[in-house]
Amino acid sequence: MKKAKKVIVCDAILDEGVKLLREAEDIECIEAAKVPKDELLGMLGDVDVAITRSSTEVGETFLNAAKNLKALIRAGVGVDNVDIAGASKRGIIVMNVPTANTIAAVELTMAHLLCSARSFVNSHNYLKQERKWEREKWYGVELMGKTLGIIGFGNIGSRVGVRAKAFGMKILAYDPYISPSKVTDLDMQYTTNLDDILTKSDFITIHTPKTKETNGMIGLNELKKMKDKVRLINCARGGLYTEEALCEGLKSGKIAWLGIDVFVKEPATDNPLLDFENVSVSAHLGANTLESQANIAVQACEQALNAARGISYPNALNLPIKTEDLPNFVAPYIELVSKMAFLCAQMQKGAIKSIRLEAEGQIGEYAKSMLTFAAVGALQSILGESINYVNAEFMAQEKGIELGFATLPNSGYNNKLCVKIVTENASFSVAGTIFEENDQRIVDLNGFKTDFKPKGKMIVFKNKDIPGVIAKISGILAHNKINIADFRLGRDGSGYALAVILVDEFIGKAVLDELNAYEACIFARYAEL
């Protein structure tokens, strides 16, 4: 039996996620959230994967202690506390969880937006805390008919736009890294000029990551271009607006209201912005809902499992391919193609002769890059930790494995990828696509149409298409006390069928032998993703 991989949870996350690690048979889960940080260092020596939040500083001291570390997951969006360059030098893949708190951040932005229009926080405090009935003091403005400038139109910014539009606002969006159609298809206005946002907006909200380019992107010069009595919101990252400019704008009256959740230095208990009356503040609560924290915990632990097993590295920040620079629709395919290749390799045992990737649609532009991820997914079970995204092509060549890719005409999906592995004896192919933003689906197995999520334990069963097969399979599994979670069947019209049976338990050799002994069975194989 393979030695269990060690995953350490350095900071507190909800139990919904940690439970996944505890229950994984091939994982040793180390729960160290309550361990003092100086003692934590002594626990890192043989750890394979680490999960952290903002309270653990992942600098040189941490990285030097974690001598065996292969991957690190920041359970959240921001990676300000992670030395990504240092991790990269040591071959450690750094991932974050960028979308789990999307709705929470969107809704907090809306709270600050509404507050900025109606001074809600102040009127509330005057009445409840000071017991003053002030009606004339707190005249507000309506959102209806006003222009909301949105800087950054990704997962969060776009959803803020949809909700603000429902209030009757005019939406003006600036984001140089998206297709204009993402904005215009929502009946909103797109601009390539940041000055349009600054000069035309009554309200401005910012939703960009914090990078060298965006840090301090709104300063005194930008403030001067804005309308008088502009209202500004920041629930993204501290420092996107310079705090010096914000203080100046509040003093001069240029800024009518500031709604802010994030600060350059946190905790921000002595920040000068707190001294202004026309400011609504929250203590970096953008992700603080029960739902988002559960999502963060589950997604972080799922990523840790995939990384520990070498299957995939979703939301990786330091791969040779800079996923943050790719269009938003590409990133889910990176994870999907790794899973498809890993599944394909489990289906087709034997020495691999070639790995081929076929792409349909716009994703075809990235087929060459995707091939690298497919190669790692396919060869991981053979080469283990010796293969990574840097050396994949070299390792394949060394093994005499041919790598190839092609773009094909559209077959009915907007985008589709197909991984085909050829061994000395046979071949097997797995095709998949993404529905909505990140709904991963396997849609074809070796020519058989299907539809299932690439996740969990499964039996792939090919058989002669005759009556009684499903009943026989179900009987064998029931006899062995194996619960069926889902059953998907595809037929080829030539007398054969292929079923994907999702199960709750590991399927051992004895059960597979029993299935394969059934006279109608062509093959029965177990896989896990």
Answer whether residue 449 is part of any domain.
no
Are 129 and 243 in the same domain? yes
Are 164 and 306 in the same domain? no
Q: Which of 112, 207, 231, 284 is catalytic?
A: 284
Please indicate whether residue 266 is annotated as part of the active site: yes
Answer whether residue 179 is part of any domain.
yes
Are 323 and 300 in the same domain? no
C-alpha distances in angstroms, 323 versus 36, 259, 328, 415? 34, 31, 9, 18
Are 141 and 276 in the same domain? yes
Q: What is the mean pLDDT of residues 459-473?
A: 95
Our count of domains for the chain comes to: 4
Where residue 84 sits, what CATH number does that domain have? 3.40.50.720
Closest CA to 390 of 403, 410, 376, 401: 376
Tens digit of each residue's pLDDT (9 = 90 or more) over 411-445: 889 999 999 999 877 899 999 999 987 899 999 99
Q: Which of 74, 112, 207, 237 is catalytic?
A: 237
Are 126 and 270 in the same domain? yes
Answer whether residue 447 is part of any domain.
no
Closest CA to 194 of 183, 209, 204: 204
Q: Which of 60, 266, 277, 398 is catalytic?
A: 266
* Angle in degrees, CA 95, 97, 99, rounded to 5: 140
Are 273 and 323 in the same domain? no
C-alpha 12/C-alpha 53 separation (Å) is 8
Are 162 and 240 in the same domain? yes
Are 130 and 234 in the same domain? yes
Tens digit of each residue's pLDDT (9 = 90 or more) over 493-524: 899 999 999 999 999 999 999 999 999 999 99
Are 129 and 273 in the same domain? yes
Residue 84 sits in which domain range?
Answer: 1-99+289-318
Residue 208: which H helix or E strand, with range?
none
Which own/partner pairs from 465-469 qualify as long-range (CB within 8 Å, at least 24 positions apart)?
Answer: 465/491, 465/495, 465/496, 465/497, 466/520, 468/520, 469/497, 469/520
Answer whether residue 299 is part of any domain.
yes
Are 366 and 505 in the same domain? no
Answer whether residue 25 is part of any domain.
yes
* Angle in degrees, CA 28, 34, 40, rounded to 5: 65
The stretches of 408-524 forming alpha helices (DSSP H) are: 469-479, 509-517
Tens digit of each residue's pLDDT (9 = 90 or more) over 274-298: 999 999 999 999 989 999 999 999 9
Answer whether residue 479 is part of any domain.
yes
Are 261 and 114 in the same domain? yes
pTM of the model: 0.61
Tens digit of each residue's pLDDT (9 = 90 or more) over 181-236: 889 999 999 999 999 999 999 999 999 877 777 889 999 999 999 999 999 999 99
Answer whether residue 444 is part of any domain.
no
Q: What is the mean pLDDT of residues 360-381?
A: 87
Are 129 and 274 in the same domain? yes
Q: How many residues does the chain have?
A: 529
